[in-house]
A and B are shown apart, each in its own frame.
Chain A
Amino acid sequence: MSCVLELKNLSYVYGKGTPFEKRAVNRVSLQIHRGELIGVIGHTGSGKSTMMQMLNGLMRPTEGQVLLDGKDIWAEPKKIREVRFKVGMVFQYPEYQLFEETVRKDIAFGAKNRGLEGAALEQAIRDAADFTGLKPELLEKSPFELSGGEKRRAAIAGVIAMNPEVLVLDEPTAGLDPMGREVLLSQITRYHQERQNTVLLVTHSMEDIARVADRIIVMHKGNLVLFEPTRTVFSQGDRLKQWGLSVPQITAIMQDLRRRGLDVPDGVLTVDEAFRALLPLLKKEGKLW
Protein backbone atom coordinates (compact mmCIF):
# COMPACT_ATOMS: atom_id res chain seq x y z
CA MET A 1 0.00 0.00 0.00
CA SER A 2 1.31 3.41 -0.88
CA CYS A 3 1.52 6.10 1.72
CA VAL A 4 -0.37 9.29 0.94
CA LEU A 5 0.20 11.26 4.12
CA GLU A 6 3.06 10.95 6.51
CA LEU A 7 3.59 12.95 9.68
CA LYS A 8 7.13 13.09 10.96
CA ASN A 9 7.74 14.25 14.49
CA LEU A 10 4.98 16.83 14.09
CA SER A 11 4.51 19.42 16.85
CA TYR A 12 2.59 22.62 17.32
CA VAL A 13 3.10 25.03 20.18
CA TYR A 14 0.56 27.83 20.66
CA GLY A 15 1.81 31.21 21.94
CA LYS A 16 5.45 30.19 21.99
CA GLY A 17 7.48 32.33 24.41
CA THR A 18 4.36 33.78 26.10
CA PRO A 19 2.86 32.85 29.48
CA PHE A 20 0.06 31.08 27.55
CA GLU A 21 2.44 28.71 25.81
CA LYS A 22 0.69 25.43 25.13
CA ARG A 23 1.98 22.37 23.33
CA ALA A 24 -1.13 21.27 21.42
CA VAL A 25 0.49 18.57 19.31
CA ASN A 26 3.53 16.73 20.57
CA ARG A 27 5.94 14.89 18.23
CA VAL A 28 3.36 12.90 16.29
CA SER A 29 4.62 10.47 13.67
CA LEU A 30 2.32 8.30 11.58
CA GLN A 31 1.58 7.05 8.07
CA ILE A 32 -1.76 6.98 6.31
CA HIS A 33 -2.20 4.77 3.25
CA ARG A 34 -4.02 5.70 0.08
CA GLY A 35 -7.68 4.74 0.19
CA GLU A 36 -8.00 4.32 3.95
CA LEU A 37 -10.91 5.65 5.98
CA ILE A 38 -9.32 6.85 9.20
CA GLY A 39 -11.22 7.79 12.34
CA VAL A 40 -9.71 10.45 14.60
CA ILE A 41 -10.88 10.53 18.20
CA GLY A 42 -9.73 12.32 21.32
CA HIS A 43 -11.04 14.24 24.29
CA THR A 44 -11.82 17.93 23.71
CA GLY A 45 -8.48 19.74 23.68
CA SER A 46 -6.51 16.61 22.76
CA GLY A 47 -4.94 18.39 19.79
CA LYS A 48 -6.84 16.61 17.03
CA SER A 49 -8.21 19.78 15.41
CA THR A 50 -4.80 21.46 15.52
CA MET A 51 -3.29 18.37 13.92
CA MET A 52 -5.93 18.34 11.17
CA GLN A 53 -5.27 21.99 10.38
CA MET A 54 -1.61 21.23 9.82
CA LEU A 55 -2.45 18.58 7.23
CA ASN A 56 -3.24 21.12 4.52
CA GLY A 57 -1.00 23.91 5.67
CA LEU A 58 -3.57 26.08 7.40
CA MET A 59 -1.24 25.97 10.38
CA ARG A 60 2.47 25.63 10.00
CA PRO A 61 4.06 23.08 12.35
CA THR A 62 6.44 24.57 14.91
CA GLU A 63 8.49 21.37 14.53
CA GLY A 64 8.41 18.34 12.26
CA GLN A 65 6.98 17.70 8.81
CA VAL A 66 3.81 16.84 6.94
CA LEU A 67 4.63 14.78 3.86
CA LEU A 68 1.99 14.59 1.13
CA ASP A 69 2.88 11.99 -1.52
CA GLY A 70 6.34 11.93 0.00
CA LYS A 71 6.90 15.68 -0.32
CA ASP A 72 7.14 18.14 2.57
CA ILE A 73 4.17 20.48 2.10
CA TRP A 74 6.24 23.41 3.39
CA ALA A 75 9.22 22.73 1.08
CA GLU A 76 8.04 25.62 -1.09
CA PRO A 77 5.79 27.82 1.06
CA LYS A 78 4.58 29.73 -2.00
CA LYS A 79 3.00 26.56 -3.37
CA ILE A 80 1.02 25.81 -0.21
CA ARG A 81 -2.18 26.65 -2.10
CA GLU A 82 -1.72 23.48 -4.18
CA VAL A 83 -1.75 21.45 -0.99
CA ARG A 84 -5.09 22.94 0.03
CA PHE A 85 -6.67 21.55 -3.15
CA LYS A 86 -5.16 18.14 -2.53
CA VAL A 87 -6.20 17.95 1.11
CA GLY A 88 -9.80 19.13 1.31
CA MET A 89 -10.94 20.31 4.70
CA VAL A 90 -14.52 20.38 5.95
CA PHE A 91 -14.67 22.23 9.24
CA GLN A 92 -17.12 21.91 12.11
CA TYR A 93 -20.45 23.49 11.22
CA PRO A 94 -19.37 24.19 7.61
CA GLU A 95 -22.80 25.62 6.82
CA TYR A 96 -21.64 28.91 8.35
CA GLN A 97 -19.14 29.26 5.51
CA LEU A 98 -21.60 29.35 2.63
CA PHE A 99 -21.44 32.74 0.95
CA GLU A 100 -22.39 32.62 -2.73
CA GLU A 101 -25.62 33.68 -4.41
CA THR A 102 -26.61 30.18 -5.41
CA VAL A 103 -25.80 26.70 -4.17
CA ARG A 104 -24.27 25.91 -7.58
CA LYS A 105 -21.85 28.86 -7.38
CA ASP A 106 -20.94 27.97 -3.83
CA ILE A 107 -20.14 24.36 -4.71
CA ALA A 108 -18.20 25.55 -7.79
CA PHE A 109 -16.00 28.03 -5.90
CA GLY A 110 -13.17 25.72 -4.88
CA ALA A 111 -13.21 23.64 -8.06
CA LYS A 112 -13.06 26.81 -10.20
CA ASN A 113 -10.09 28.03 -8.23
CA ARG A 114 -8.43 24.70 -8.88
CA GLY A 115 -8.79 25.50 -12.59
CA LEU A 116 -11.85 23.47 -13.54
CA GLU A 117 -14.20 24.98 -16.13
CA GLY A 118 -16.90 24.17 -18.65
CA ALA A 119 -18.14 20.59 -18.82
CA ALA A 120 -15.59 19.32 -16.30
CA LEU A 121 -16.72 21.91 -13.75
CA GLU A 122 -20.36 21.07 -14.38
CA GLN A 123 -19.61 17.38 -13.95
CA ALA A 124 -17.74 18.05 -10.68
CA ILE A 125 -20.67 20.06 -9.33
CA ARG A 126 -23.17 17.38 -10.31
CA ASP A 127 -21.09 14.56 -8.83
CA ALA A 128 -20.56 16.44 -5.60
CA ALA A 129 -24.26 17.22 -5.30
CA ASP A 130 -25.05 13.58 -5.97
CA PHE A 131 -22.60 12.26 -3.38
CA THR A 132 -24.05 14.53 -0.73
CA GLY A 133 -27.66 13.82 -1.73
CA LEU A 134 -28.54 17.37 -2.84
CA LYS A 135 -31.40 17.39 -5.31
CA PRO A 136 -30.58 19.13 -8.64
CA GLU A 137 -33.36 21.71 -8.19
CA LEU A 138 -31.66 22.99 -5.03
CA LEU A 139 -28.61 24.08 -7.04
CA GLU A 140 -30.28 27.26 -8.29
CA LYS A 141 -31.49 28.29 -4.84
CA SER A 142 -29.75 30.66 -2.46
CA PRO A 143 -27.81 28.64 0.12
CA PHE A 144 -29.64 30.60 2.80
CA GLU A 145 -32.98 29.17 1.71
CA LEU A 146 -31.85 25.63 2.52
CA SER A 147 -32.59 23.73 5.71
CA GLY A 148 -29.78 23.14 8.20
CA GLY A 149 -29.07 19.63 6.95
CA GLU A 150 -29.09 20.74 3.30
CA LYS A 151 -26.72 23.62 4.05
CA ARG A 152 -24.34 21.19 5.70
CA ARG A 153 -24.43 18.96 2.61
CA ALA A 154 -23.91 21.91 0.25
CA ALA A 155 -20.82 22.95 2.21
CA ILE A 156 -19.39 19.44 2.08
CA ALA A 157 -20.19 19.24 -1.66
CA GLY A 158 -18.07 22.37 -2.20
CA VAL A 159 -15.02 20.56 -0.87
CA ILE A 160 -15.77 17.27 -2.65
CA ALA A 161 -16.10 19.15 -5.98
CA MET A 162 -12.40 20.06 -5.76
CA ASN A 163 -11.76 16.31 -5.92
CA PRO A 164 -9.19 16.30 -3.15
CA GLU A 165 -6.91 13.28 -2.74
CA VAL A 166 -7.48 13.43 0.98
CA LEU A 167 -10.77 14.56 2.49
CA VAL A 168 -10.71 15.68 6.11
CA LEU A 169 -14.07 16.04 7.86
CA ASP A 170 -14.17 17.59 11.32
CA GLU A 171 -17.34 16.44 13.12
CA PRO A 172 -19.49 16.32 9.98
CA THR A 173 -22.50 14.88 11.81
CA ALA A 174 -22.45 17.15 14.89
CA GLY A 175 -25.84 18.59 15.72
CA LEU A 176 -27.70 16.48 13.17
CA ASP A 177 -30.55 14.25 14.27
CA PRO A 178 -30.11 10.45 14.25
CA MET A 179 -31.56 10.10 10.75
CA GLY A 180 -29.49 12.98 9.33
CA ARG A 181 -26.38 11.43 10.88
CA GLU A 182 -27.15 8.05 9.38
CA VAL A 183 -27.72 9.46 5.88
CA LEU A 184 -24.64 11.71 5.86
CA LEU A 185 -22.46 8.91 7.15
CA SER A 186 -23.59 6.52 4.43
CA GLN A 187 -23.00 9.24 1.82
CA ILE A 188 -19.46 9.71 3.07
CA THR A 189 -18.74 5.98 2.96
CA ARG A 190 -20.21 5.73 -0.53
CA TYR A 191 -18.02 8.63 -1.70
CA HIS A 192 -15.02 6.94 -0.13
CA GLN A 193 -15.75 3.59 -1.76
CA GLU A 194 -16.46 4.97 -5.24
CA ARG A 195 -13.61 7.48 -5.42
CA GLN A 196 -11.19 5.19 -3.59
CA ASN A 197 -9.53 8.14 -1.94
CA THR A 198 -8.45 8.80 1.58
CA VAL A 199 -10.87 10.12 4.19
CA LEU A 200 -10.11 11.32 7.70
CA LEU A 201 -13.13 11.58 9.95
CA VAL A 202 -12.87 13.46 13.24
CA THR A 203 -15.77 12.60 15.50
CA HIS A 204 -17.02 12.26 19.03
CA SER A 205 -19.49 9.56 18.09
CA MET A 206 -17.94 6.20 18.90
CA GLU A 207 -21.01 4.44 17.45
CA ASP A 208 -20.46 6.13 14.07
CA ILE A 209 -16.73 5.62 13.90
CA ALA A 210 -17.05 1.98 14.94
CA ARG A 211 -19.19 1.31 11.90
CA VAL A 212 -17.11 2.96 9.19
CA ALA A 213 -13.42 3.38 10.04
CA ASP A 214 -10.59 1.06 8.91
CA ARG A 215 -8.16 2.38 11.49
CA ILE A 216 -8.46 4.86 14.34
CA ILE A 217 -6.08 7.56 15.53
CA VAL A 218 -6.47 8.24 19.25
CA MET A 219 -5.08 11.56 20.52
CA HIS A 220 -4.57 12.42 24.17
CA LYS A 221 -3.02 15.65 25.48
CA GLY A 222 -1.31 16.32 22.15
CA ASN A 223 0.17 12.83 21.90
CA LEU A 224 -0.66 10.06 19.49
CA VAL A 225 -1.52 7.30 21.97
CA LEU A 226 -3.01 4.67 19.69
CA PHE A 227 -3.22 4.09 15.94
CA GLU A 228 -4.69 0.66 15.26
CA PRO A 229 -7.48 -1.11 13.34
CA THR A 230 -10.93 -0.18 14.65
CA ARG A 231 -11.63 -3.51 16.33
CA THR A 232 -8.29 -3.44 18.15
CA VAL A 233 -8.95 0.08 19.42
CA PHE A 234 -12.40 -0.73 20.74
CA SER A 235 -11.25 -3.89 22.49
CA GLN A 236 -9.29 -1.57 24.79
CA GLY A 237 -12.20 -0.02 26.63
CA ASP A 238 -10.27 0.55 29.86
CA ARG A 239 -7.50 2.51 28.17
CA LEU A 240 -9.97 4.59 26.16
CA LYS A 241 -11.73 5.46 29.40
CA GLN A 242 -8.49 6.78 30.88
CA TRP A 243 -8.24 9.13 27.91
CA GLY A 244 -11.76 10.45 28.47
CA LEU A 245 -13.22 8.36 25.65
CA SER A 246 -15.67 5.49 25.58
CA VAL A 247 -16.61 2.48 23.51
CA PRO A 248 -20.04 2.04 21.87
CA GLN A 249 -22.60 0.73 24.37
CA ILE A 250 -22.95 -2.52 22.41
CA THR A 251 -19.17 -3.10 22.57
CA ALA A 252 -19.24 -2.63 26.35
CA ILE A 253 -22.20 -5.00 26.76
CA MET A 254 -20.47 -7.74 24.78
CA GLN A 255 -17.24 -7.20 26.72
CA ASP A 256 -19.12 -7.62 30.00
CA LEU A 257 -20.76 -10.81 28.75
CA ARG A 258 -17.33 -12.07 27.73
CA ARG A 259 -15.99 -11.35 31.20
CA ARG A 260 -18.88 -13.39 32.59
CA GLY A 261 -17.53 -16.32 30.62
CA LEU A 262 -19.77 -16.19 27.56
CA ASP A 263 -18.15 -17.31 24.34
CA VAL A 264 -18.59 -14.07 22.34
CA PRO A 265 -15.91 -12.29 20.29
CA ASP A 266 -13.94 -9.28 21.54
CA GLY A 267 -14.36 -5.82 20.02
CA VAL A 268 -17.93 -6.21 18.73
CA LEU A 269 -18.75 -2.97 16.89
CA THR A 270 -22.43 -3.01 15.92
CA VAL A 271 -25.79 -4.29 17.16
CA ASP A 272 -25.96 -6.61 14.14
CA GLU A 273 -22.61 -8.16 15.00
CA ALA A 274 -23.72 -8.68 18.59
CA PHE A 275 -27.00 -10.18 17.42
CA ARG A 276 -25.21 -12.61 15.11
CA ALA A 277 -22.81 -13.61 17.89
CA LEU A 278 -25.55 -14.24 20.44
CA LEU A 279 -28.01 -16.03 18.19
CA PRO A 280 -26.16 -19.38 17.93
CA LEU A 281 -25.43 -19.35 21.68
CA LEU A 282 -29.08 -18.81 22.54
CA LYS A 283 -30.16 -21.45 20.03
CA LYS A 284 -27.77 -23.97 21.55
CA GLU A 285 -29.28 -23.30 24.97
CA GLY A 286 -32.72 -23.80 23.52
CA LYS A 287 -33.81 -20.29 24.45
CA LEU A 288 -35.19 -19.44 21.03
CA TRP A 289 -37.96 -20.87 18.91
Chain B
Amino acid sequence: MSFISIQDVRFSYDEIEEGKPVRYAVDGVSLDVERGEFVAVIGHNGCGKSTLAKQLNAMLLPDSGKVIIDGDDTSVEENTYTIREKIGLVLQNPDNQLVASIVEEDVAFGPENLGVEPAEIRRRVDEALKAVDMYEYREHAPHKLSGGQKQRVAIAGILAIQPQCIVLDEPTAMLDPSGRQEVVSTLLKLNREQKMTVVLITHFMDEAVLADRVVVMDSGKILTQGTPEEVFSQVELLKKHRLDVPQSAELAYKLRGCGLKINHIPLTREDCVALLGEAMR
Protein backbone atom coordinates (compact mmCIF):
# COMPACT_ATOMS: atom_id res chain seq x y z
CA MET B 1 0.00 0.00 0.00
CA SER B 2 1.09 3.56 -0.66
CA PHE B 3 2.61 5.60 2.17
CA ILE B 4 -0.33 8.03 1.99
CA SER B 5 -3.62 6.74 0.70
CA ILE B 6 -6.57 9.10 0.46
CA GLN B 7 -9.71 7.17 -0.40
CA ASP B 8 -12.77 9.04 -1.65
CA VAL B 9 -12.57 11.66 1.09
CA ARG B 10 -15.39 14.16 1.62
CA PHE B 11 -15.19 16.94 4.16
CA SER B 12 -17.39 19.91 4.94
CA TYR B 13 -17.01 22.74 7.43
CA ASP B 14 -20.82 23.10 7.49
CA GLU B 15 -23.02 21.30 9.97
CA ILE B 16 -24.49 18.36 8.16
CA GLU B 17 -28.27 18.40 8.53
CA GLU B 18 -30.74 16.37 6.65
CA GLY B 19 -32.34 18.13 3.72
CA LYS B 20 -29.80 20.96 3.75
CA PRO B 21 -27.42 21.36 0.83
CA VAL B 22 -23.83 20.87 1.95
CA ARG B 23 -20.79 22.56 0.47
CA TYR B 24 -17.92 20.14 0.56
CA ALA B 25 -14.45 21.69 0.90
CA VAL B 26 -13.02 18.35 -0.18
CA ASP B 27 -15.45 16.52 -2.41
CA GLY B 28 -14.56 12.94 -3.17
CA VAL B 29 -10.79 13.02 -3.48
CA SER B 30 -8.73 9.87 -3.96
CA LEU B 31 -4.98 10.22 -4.10
CA ASP B 32 -1.98 8.02 -3.33
CA VAL B 33 1.45 9.34 -2.46
CA GLU B 34 4.36 6.94 -2.52
CA ARG B 35 7.23 7.00 -0.05
CA GLY B 36 9.94 9.36 -1.29
CA GLU B 37 7.69 11.13 -3.77
CA PHE B 38 7.58 14.92 -4.22
CA VAL B 39 4.01 15.96 -4.95
CA ALA B 40 2.89 19.54 -5.60
CA VAL B 41 -0.76 20.48 -5.14
CA ILE B 42 -2.01 23.60 -6.88
CA GLY B 43 -5.40 25.28 -7.20
CA HIS B 44 -6.98 28.64 -6.43
CA ASN B 45 -8.03 29.80 -2.98
CA GLY B 46 -10.96 27.84 -1.65
CA CYS B 47 -10.34 24.82 -3.87
CA GLY B 48 -9.83 22.59 -0.84
CA LYS B 49 -6.09 22.03 -0.94
CA SER B 50 -5.42 23.36 2.58
CA THR B 51 -8.30 21.27 3.92
CA LEU B 52 -6.79 18.25 2.23
CA ALA B 53 -3.40 19.00 3.83
CA LYS B 54 -4.99 19.05 7.29
CA GLN B 55 -6.49 15.64 6.63
CA LEU B 56 -3.01 14.18 6.24
CA ASN B 57 -2.01 14.47 9.90
CA ALA B 58 -5.45 14.03 11.47
CA MET B 59 -5.95 17.73 12.22
CA LEU B 60 -9.21 17.25 10.36
CA LEU B 61 -10.97 13.94 9.90
CA PRO B 62 -12.99 12.98 6.82
CA ASP B 63 -16.80 13.08 6.94
CA SER B 64 -16.70 10.07 4.66
CA GLY B 65 -13.93 8.08 3.04
CA LYS B 66 -10.56 7.27 4.60
CA VAL B 67 -7.07 8.66 4.95
CA ILE B 68 -4.50 5.92 5.58
CA ILE B 69 -0.97 6.95 6.59
CA ASP B 70 1.60 4.16 6.44
CA GLY B 71 -1.19 1.67 7.12
CA ASP B 72 -2.82 3.65 9.93
CA ASP B 73 -6.31 5.11 9.60
CA THR B 74 -6.40 8.79 10.72
CA SER B 75 -9.92 8.43 12.08
CA VAL B 76 -8.79 5.92 14.72
CA GLU B 77 -7.88 8.04 17.73
CA GLU B 78 -5.03 5.82 18.97
CA ASN B 79 -3.19 6.42 15.69
CA THR B 80 -3.14 10.21 15.99
CA TYR B 81 0.27 10.58 17.65
CA THR B 82 1.98 7.97 15.48
CA ILE B 83 0.67 9.77 12.42
CA ARG B 84 1.78 13.19 13.64
CA GLU B 85 5.31 11.89 14.21
CA LYS B 86 5.37 10.68 10.62
CA ILE B 87 3.73 13.67 8.95
CA GLY B 88 5.05 17.14 9.75
CA LEU B 89 2.79 20.00 8.76
CA VAL B 90 4.09 23.49 7.97
CA LEU B 91 1.31 26.06 7.66
CA GLN B 92 0.86 29.25 5.72
CA ASN B 93 1.54 31.73 8.47
CA PRO B 94 4.72 31.18 10.50
CA ASP B 95 3.48 33.51 13.24
CA ASN B 96 0.92 30.89 14.21
CA GLN B 97 3.56 28.18 14.54
CA LEU B 98 6.34 29.68 16.61
CA VAL B 99 5.99 29.10 20.35
CA ALA B 100 9.28 29.92 22.10
CA SER B 101 11.09 33.20 22.66
CA ILE B 102 14.44 31.96 21.29
CA VAL B 103 14.85 30.40 17.85
CA GLU B 104 16.68 27.25 18.97
CA GLU B 105 14.21 26.65 21.79
CA ASP B 106 11.41 26.87 19.28
CA VAL B 107 13.05 24.25 17.08
CA ALA B 108 13.65 22.08 20.16
CA PHE B 109 9.96 22.20 21.14
CA GLY B 110 8.95 19.21 19.01
CA PRO B 111 11.68 16.74 20.01
CA GLU B 112 11.40 17.83 23.68
CA ASN B 113 7.76 16.83 23.62
CA LEU B 114 8.68 13.49 22.15
CA GLY B 115 11.09 12.87 25.06
CA VAL B 116 14.25 12.86 22.95
CA GLU B 117 17.60 12.82 24.82
CA PRO B 118 19.08 16.32 25.41
CA ALA B 119 22.29 15.61 23.45
CA GLU B 120 20.24 14.28 20.56
CA ILE B 121 17.95 17.34 20.72
CA ARG B 122 21.02 19.59 20.47
CA ARG B 123 22.22 17.68 17.42
CA ARG B 124 18.84 17.72 15.71
CA VAL B 125 18.28 21.42 16.39
CA ASP B 126 21.67 22.38 14.96
CA GLU B 127 21.17 20.16 11.94
CA ALA B 128 17.64 21.45 11.29
CA LEU B 129 18.71 25.09 11.60
CA LYS B 130 21.64 24.52 9.26
CA ALA B 131 19.34 22.81 6.75
CA VAL B 132 17.21 25.97 6.53
CA ASP B 133 20.19 28.30 6.73
CA MET B 134 19.15 29.87 10.03
CA TYR B 135 21.94 28.49 12.23
CA GLU B 136 23.50 31.89 12.85
CA TYR B 137 20.15 33.14 14.16
CA ARG B 138 19.81 30.34 16.72
CA GLU B 139 19.96 32.69 19.69
CA HIS B 140 17.71 35.38 18.21
CA ALA B 141 14.12 36.12 19.18
CA PRO B 142 11.66 34.76 16.57
CA HIS B 143 9.41 37.84 16.72
CA LYS B 144 12.29 40.00 15.58
CA LEU B 145 12.90 37.94 12.45
CA SER B 146 11.46 38.76 9.06
CA GLY B 147 8.56 36.70 7.70
CA GLY B 148 10.83 34.59 5.54
CA GLN B 149 13.22 33.85 8.36
CA LYS B 150 10.32 32.88 10.62
CA GLN B 151 9.04 30.46 8.02
CA ARG B 152 12.42 28.78 7.78
CA VAL B 153 12.49 28.42 11.57
CA ALA B 154 9.02 26.83 11.40
CA ILE B 155 10.34 24.33 8.84
CA ALA B 156 13.35 23.61 11.07
CA GLY B 157 10.95 22.92 13.94
CA ILE B 158 9.29 20.24 11.83
CA LEU B 159 12.61 18.79 10.62
CA ALA B 160 13.72 18.36 14.23
CA ILE B 161 10.89 15.87 14.74
CA GLN B 162 12.39 13.87 11.87
CA PRO B 163 9.13 13.05 10.16
CA GLN B 164 8.96 10.73 7.16
CA CYS B 165 6.84 13.16 5.23
CA ILE B 166 6.60 16.92 5.33
CA VAL B 167 3.43 18.64 4.17
CA LEU B 168 3.71 22.36 3.47
CA ASP B 169 0.79 24.70 2.94
CA GLU B 170 2.05 27.63 0.84
CA PRO B 171 5.27 27.93 2.82
CA THR B 172 6.82 30.48 0.46
CA ALA B 173 3.89 32.85 0.02
CA MET B 174 5.66 35.58 1.99
CA LEU B 175 9.27 35.04 0.92
CA ASP B 176 11.38 36.97 -1.55
CA PRO B 177 12.88 35.18 -4.57
CA SER B 178 16.07 34.08 -2.84
CA GLY B 179 14.20 33.15 0.34
CA ARG B 180 11.85 31.04 -1.76
CA GLN B 181 14.80 29.52 -3.55
CA GLU B 182 16.37 28.54 -0.21
CA VAL B 183 13.20 26.89 1.06
CA VAL B 184 12.56 25.09 -2.20
CA SER B 185 16.12 23.82 -2.54
CA THR B 186 15.97 22.71 1.10
CA LEU B 187 12.85 20.70 0.25
CA LEU B 188 14.48 19.25 -2.87
CA LYS B 189 17.57 18.29 -0.86
CA LEU B 190 15.48 16.61 1.84
CA ASN B 191 13.56 14.75 -0.84
CA ARG B 192 16.54 13.68 -2.98
CA GLU B 193 19.10 12.94 -0.28
CA GLN B 194 17.04 11.81 2.69
CA LYS B 195 14.19 10.35 0.61
CA MET B 196 11.77 12.53 2.54
CA THR B 197 8.26 12.45 1.14
CA VAL B 198 7.17 16.01 0.35
CA VAL B 199 3.67 17.34 -0.30
CA LEU B 200 3.94 20.97 -1.32
CA ILE B 201 0.86 23.14 -1.64
CA THR B 202 1.72 26.26 -3.59
CA HIS B 203 0.53 29.05 -5.84
CA PHE B 204 3.94 29.34 -7.46
CA MET B 205 4.10 27.37 -10.67
CA ASP B 206 7.89 27.57 -10.80
CA GLU B 207 7.90 25.53 -7.58
CA ALA B 208 5.34 23.05 -8.82
CA VAL B 209 7.42 22.27 -11.94
CA LEU B 210 10.14 20.85 -9.67
CA ALA B 211 7.89 18.15 -8.27
CA ASP B 212 7.66 14.54 -9.46
CA ARG B 213 3.91 14.94 -9.79
CA VAL B 214 1.53 17.89 -9.90
CA VAL B 215 -2.05 17.60 -8.66
CA VAL B 216 -4.49 20.35 -9.70
CA MET B 217 -7.53 20.87 -7.47
CA ASP B 218 -10.71 22.79 -8.21
CA SER B 219 -13.92 23.01 -6.17
CA GLY B 220 -12.83 20.25 -3.81
CA LYS B 221 -12.05 17.81 -6.59
CA ILE B 222 -8.94 16.75 -8.48
CA LEU B 223 -9.10 18.45 -11.86
CA THR B 224 -6.05 16.83 -13.40
CA GLN B 225 -2.72 15.35 -12.35
CA GLY B 226 0.48 14.08 -13.86
CA THR B 227 4.11 15.00 -14.37
CA PRO B 228 4.74 18.76 -14.54
CA GLU B 229 5.11 18.44 -18.34
CA GLU B 230 1.77 16.69 -18.65
CA VAL B 231 -0.04 19.19 -16.44
CA PHE B 232 1.45 22.48 -17.63
CA SER B 233 1.09 21.72 -21.31
CA GLN B 234 -2.68 21.99 -20.72
CA VAL B 235 -2.36 25.77 -20.84
CA GLU B 236 -5.97 26.36 -21.82
CA LEU B 237 -7.44 24.20 -19.05
CA LEU B 238 -5.30 25.87 -16.38
CA LYS B 239 -6.14 29.36 -17.60
CA LYS B 240 -9.83 28.51 -17.60
CA HIS B 241 -9.54 27.52 -13.95
CA ARG B 242 -7.79 30.75 -12.99
CA LEU B 243 -4.36 29.20 -12.61
CA ASP B 244 -1.00 30.46 -13.76
CA VAL B 245 1.30 28.66 -16.11
CA PRO B 246 5.04 29.33 -16.28
CA GLN B 247 5.73 32.25 -18.61
CA SER B 248 7.85 29.97 -20.81
CA ALA B 249 4.88 27.65 -21.33
CA GLU B 250 2.55 30.56 -22.09
CA LEU B 251 4.95 31.99 -24.68
CA ALA B 252 5.47 28.62 -26.38
CA TYR B 253 1.73 27.98 -26.35
CA LYS B 254 1.03 31.32 -28.03
CA LEU B 255 3.72 30.77 -30.66
CA ARG B 256 2.48 27.28 -31.33
CA GLY B 257 -0.99 28.77 -31.81
CA CYS B 258 0.53 30.84 -34.63
CA GLY B 259 1.89 27.75 -36.29
CA LEU B 260 5.36 27.32 -34.78
CA LYS B 261 6.27 23.64 -34.76
CA ILE B 262 7.51 22.56 -31.33
CA ASN B 263 7.43 19.05 -29.92
CA HIS B 264 6.72 19.98 -26.30
CA ILE B 265 5.81 22.86 -23.98
CA PRO B 266 8.89 24.14 -22.10
CA LEU B 267 8.58 24.67 -18.33
CA THR B 268 11.95 26.18 -17.55
CA ARG B 269 13.96 29.10 -18.83
CA GLU B 270 16.71 26.84 -20.18
CA ASP B 271 14.31 24.53 -21.99
CA CYS B 272 12.46 27.47 -23.54
CA VAL B 273 15.67 29.13 -24.75
CA ALA B 274 16.91 25.87 -26.26
CA LEU B 275 13.58 25.23 -27.94
CA LEU B 276 13.26 28.72 -29.43
CA GLY B 277 16.94 28.80 -30.38
CA GLU B 278 16.40 25.56 -32.27
CA ALA B 279 13.24 26.86 -33.94
CA MET B 280 15.02 29.98 -35.16
CA ARG B 281 17.84 28.11 -36.80
Contact = CB atoms under 8 A, between A and B. Distances in A.
B247 A278 contact: no
A176 B45 contact: yes
Nearest to A93: B93
Contacts of A253: 247-248, 251, 269, 272-273, 276
Interface string B238-274: 0000111011101100110011110000000100110
A281 interface: yes
A260 interface: yes
Given A207-B247, A245-B178, A177 B276 contact: no
B177 A285 contact: no
B230 interface: no
Given A253-B269, A288-B260, A177 B175 contact: no
A177 B272 contact: no
B247 A175 contact: no
Contacts, number: 118
Contact of A149 (B45, B146, B251): B45
A282 B175 CA distance: 38
Contacts of B272: 253
A45 B146 contact: yes
Nearest to A171: B174
Contacts of B243: 177-179
Nearest to A206: B177
B176 interface: yes
B246 A44 contact: no
A248 B247 CA distance: 8
Contacts of A146: none
Contacts of A262: 277, 280
Interface in B172-198: 173-180
A245 B203 contact: no
B71 interface: no
Contacts of B44: 177-180
A132 B138 CA distance: 42
Contacts of A207: 247
B250 A245 contact: no
Given A245-B177, A253-B273, A275 B254 contact: yes
B30 interface: no
Given A148-B45, A287-B260, A175 B255 contact: no
Contacts of B255: 275, 278-279, 282, 288
Contacts of A178: 44, 203, 242-244
A201 to B, nearest CB: 14
B200 to A, nearest CB: 15
Contacts of B97: none
A66 B254 CA distance: 47
B170 interface: yes
A275 B249 CA distance: 12
B259 A274 contact: no
In the complex, which range does the number of interface residues on chain B fall in?
35 or more
B179 A44 contact: yes
Contacts of A174: 173-174
Interface string B103-127: 0000000000000000000000000
Contacts of A179: 44, 242-243
Contacts of B146: 44-45
A80 interface: no
Contact of B173 (A149, A175, A257, A274): A175
A249 B247 contact: yes
Nearest to A45: B146
Contacts of A136: none
26 contacts: A44-B148, A44-B176, A45-B149, A147-B45, A174-B174, A175-B170, A178-B44, A179-B44, A180-B45, A244-B176, A248-B247, A249-B248, A249-B269, A250-B251, A253-B247, A253-B248, A253-B272, A260-B273, A262-B277, A262-B280, A271-B251, A282-B279, A285-B280, A287-B260, A287-B280, A288-B255
Interface of B: 43-46, 92, 146-149, 170, 173-180, 203, 206, 242-244, 246-248, 250-251, 254-255, 258-261, 269, 272-273, 276-277, 279-280
- Ranked 9 nearest A-B pairs via Cβ: A289-B259, A179-B242, A244-B178, A177-B44, A178-B244, A250-B247, A44-B148, A256-B273, A246-B177
Interface of A: 42-45, 92, 147-149, 171, 174-180, 204, 206-207, 244-246, 248-250, 252-253, 256-257, 260, 262, 271, 274-275, 278-279, 281-282, 285, 287-289
